[in-house]
Structure 1
Amino acid sequence: MSTTATATRGPVIAGWSAVSPYGIGRDAFVEGARSGRSTATASEPGGEPVPDERVCLARDLVIKEVLGRKGTRSMDRVTGLAVATVRELVTGEEGAAESGADVALVLGTTTGSAQSMMDITRDTLIHEKPFYIDPSHIPNAIMNCPAGQCAIWYGLKGPNTTVAAGRSSGLIALNYARRLLASGRAMTVLCGAVEEYSPARAWLEWHTRGEDETGVVLGEGCAVLRLRPAEAVADGEGLAEVLAVEAGVAGPDGAGPALESAVRRALRRAGASRGDVWAVSPSGPAGLLGEQERTALRAGFAGHEVRWIPQPDTIGDTAAATAAFQIVSVLTAAQDDDRAAGRLAVVTSVDRDGALACALLRLL
């Protein structure tokens, strides 16, 4: 077996939290993931109509009850998911009371809140004059609103970044966070991705979904990691080391060849081989794209015994948050598997728009 040691160690995941259909916080996600129970429920009548019969919702997140009434009057769903998740990492048992100029935030998204964008656009059309809209709702229509609100709420004064790369957003955000730490721009980076469920998103998905993408149940949630330089993490406190993140674009032959290339580059960068890999986590989108991803990974790890940890479909299709939930699912599985320590996990993501990425983690 080849060594995965490098001259300069990569950043370490020192903590994480999530808000998902399983509940609020890390413990709720771990319990739900271990149980394997589905969170899909029937769509509730009332309000705006949606095309979905079943959905996976983070029902425990009632924004005004969880975050309080102050500052939440005009807060939209995607911002509430992000603020509640980051809270778990900066306060309470999981948190480290982190704030200030040395703490950065990198958040992945699809478009921010499609619902807020459409609501404001609709208001400009139906009111007597186009500027007769509620000004407090305008920030919600800006893609970086969730990341900005997290910084405001918790005094995070380091770099504040929003990245949008579809289902690959969580891995692209992870790479951005890695670079912030490597360049000394921050000593701690909170890094993750968020996605809301809303009528606007439901209809956008309905109208853009391919014929092969049937049976998709939409979900929502947010997962955020705490990244620190390896030298700043005491022995026994780290969960995984980020060895490499590689990105690519699907070519005319589909996502498979580009994804295989990304995995090879990640392993080469880490000085590792396929035999070092304990687990593989594909993003598993519906239809042909998901089959291309699985085929590429099966071919790449043929002859090697690896554990498969797919994206947690029990919480639905979480779009931009998919890769972030894949990572926390891998970390959860590693807690219960004695074979994981010291070995590698490959996390991959492919998006219908052609973006793809691969992350290589060493479990600690």
Structure 2
Amino acid sequence: MSAPAPARAVITGWSAVSPYGIGAEAFTEGLRDRRTTVAPVDTERWGVPTTRAHLVPGFETREVLGKKGTRSMDRVTGLAVAAVGSLLGQPGSAEESETGERAALVLATTTGSAASMMDFTRSSLEGERPYDVDPAVMPNAVMNCAAGQCAIWYGIKGPNTTLAGGRAAGLLSLNYATRLLSSGRADTVLCAAAEEYSAARYWLERHSRGAEAPGVPLGEGAAVLLVQPAGSHRPERPPLAEVLAVRSRVATGARVRDVLADCVRDALAAAGTDPAEVWAAAPGDAPGRLGHLEHEVLEQICGTEALGRVPAVARIGDVSAASGSFQIAMVLATAADDPAAAGRVAVITSADRDGSLACAVLRLVGR
């Protein structure tokens, strides 16, 4: 006899630390008001020549999280810890089911903190001896530091994973979360993504983008989804969306358009749904040509109306590895304000310049 098919995963909660502020409510209100989040940058503090960015307003790690345990915490870790805390602090959260031995955490990133890595390496090169470095800063230079700190702060004792996948990392981490649940490795997964603003990230982006999209301002923030098996949720955390399918591909150059279209169609087929059912399509808004291709593919498959229902993630700047998670948060926030979204399907895509393509299909649940 064949084993029964695992129950599909559902998203039962979400929160964010974004250029709109801290928490899901601040994010939702910012979207409703269609507020712009781009703001002047203190070029002297950040060591950048640009004057515009989408920063989390007033975010200072020690002021938000307190002084205990944050003396050497870098910015991306602070953003991730704050986002997870804002989710676990929501009304209806339960420590016994959302933390502990059966809870897992998956964090999407590009490289962790590029600033911490470069600063630590620089101190080794500039010191009198290579080992003249601050040992307290060393953990920040490890890519999985933010995920580890989130687990330590909140007692999340199950699997702890960092996925480095660039712009596709948010959707890849959602797929990883569903696999943890279906394999029985966890009963709850906090599926997070984080990206910081720093001089190191600014210069890396400036030199790697080339002339294609030089003026797109960077954004920062962290978003987190609470993912659980269908039917295991508590009344205080009703399902917001069912994860029907996540699919991924790899393609570069002239092949991207066709391969991305195949990826979207494959995800819809795996979800057992038709493009006509798609209520909203949310592209990742990658800077330059990739972003245009995403729009074209989704418009062709899902239609213009679906493409225009959810605010563009570019509204909060280029948040890179956090974009997929923010796209899902935008879909959920928008659907909560529209009764017509109940039972309908949302398609979310990501495209990274290194070739990673991903598509997630969600069925929205009405309240």
Task: Report whether the alignment pairs 1:53 with 2:54.
Answer: no
Structure 2 CA distance for aligned equivalents of residues 222 and 126 of structure 1:
32
Structure 2 CA distance for aligned equivalents of residues 324 and 15 of structure 1:
12
Confirm or deny: 8 A CA contact 2:206 2:214 kept in the other structure.
no
Distance 1:48 1:312, change over 3 A: closer
Match of 1:41 in 2: 39
Structure 2 CA distance for aligned equivalents of residues 344 and 92 of structure 1:
26
Give aligned-pair identity as a percent.
54
Structure 2 CA distance for aligned equivalents of residues 41 and 11 of structure 1:
38
> How far off its partner does 1:254 sit?
3.5
Count of aligned pairs between the two proteins? 358
> How far off its partner does 1:233 sit?
2.0
Q: Secondary structure at the match of 2:210?
A: coil
Counterpart amino acid of residue 323 in structure 1: G
Which 5+ residue runs of structure 2 have no aligned equivalent? none
Distance 1:287 1:252, change over 3 A: closer
Match of 2:102 in 1: 102
| Aligned counterparts, 1:246-325, within 5 A | 246-302=247-303, 305-308=305-308, 309-325=310-326
> How far off its partner does 1:147 sit?
0.2
Counterpart amino acid of residue 156 in structure 2: L
Structure 1 CA distance for aligned equivalents of residues 24 and 64 of structure 2:
16
More helix by share: 2
Distance 1:48 1:335, change over 3 A: closer
CA RMSD of aligned residues (A): 1.7
Give the stretch that moved more between structures: 113-122 or 96-105. Answer: 96-105
Confirm or deny: 8 A CA contact 2:252 2:354 kept in the other structure.
no
> How far off its partner does 1:214 sit?
3.2
> How far off its partner does 1:86 sit?
0.6
Confirm or deny: 8 A CA contact 2:285 2:313 kept in the other structure.
no
Counterpart amino acid of residue 279 in structure 2: W
- String of CA shifts for 1:292-338, please: whole Å, max 9, x gaps: 11111222234x74243254222111011011100000001101112
Task: Report whether the alignment pairs 1:201 with 2:201.
Answer: yes
Match of 1:3 in 2: none
Structure 2 CA distance for aligned equivalents of residues 19 and 338 of structure 1:
26
Confirm or deny: 8 A CA contact 1:323 1:348 kept in the other structure.
yes
Structure 2 CA distance for aligned equivalents of residues 224 and 261 of structure 1:
28
The TM-score, its normalising length taken from structure 2, stands at 0.94
Structure 2 CA distance for aligned equivalents of residues 73 and 251 of structure 1:
42
> How far off its partner does 1:47 sit?
2.8
- String of CA shifts for 1:93-148, please: whole Å, max 9, x gaps: 26322321100000000000000000011101111111011000000000000000
Q: Secondary structure at the match of 1:47?
A: helix
- String of CA shifts for 1:267-312, please: whole Å, max 9, x gaps: 111111111110000011121111111111222234x742432542
Which 5+ residue runs of structure 1 have no aligned equivalent? 1-5
Runs in 1 of length 4+ with deviation above 6 angstroms? none
Confirm or deny: 8 A CA contact 1:99 1:156 kept in the other structure.
yes
> How far off its partner does 1:10 sit?
1.5
Give the stretch that moved more between structures: 252-261 or 181-190. Answer: 252-261
> How far off its partner does 1:90 sit?
2.2
Structure 2 CA distance for aligned equivalents of residues 355 and 152 of structure 1:
31
Confirm or deny: 8 A CA contact 2:299 2:307 kept in the other structure.
no
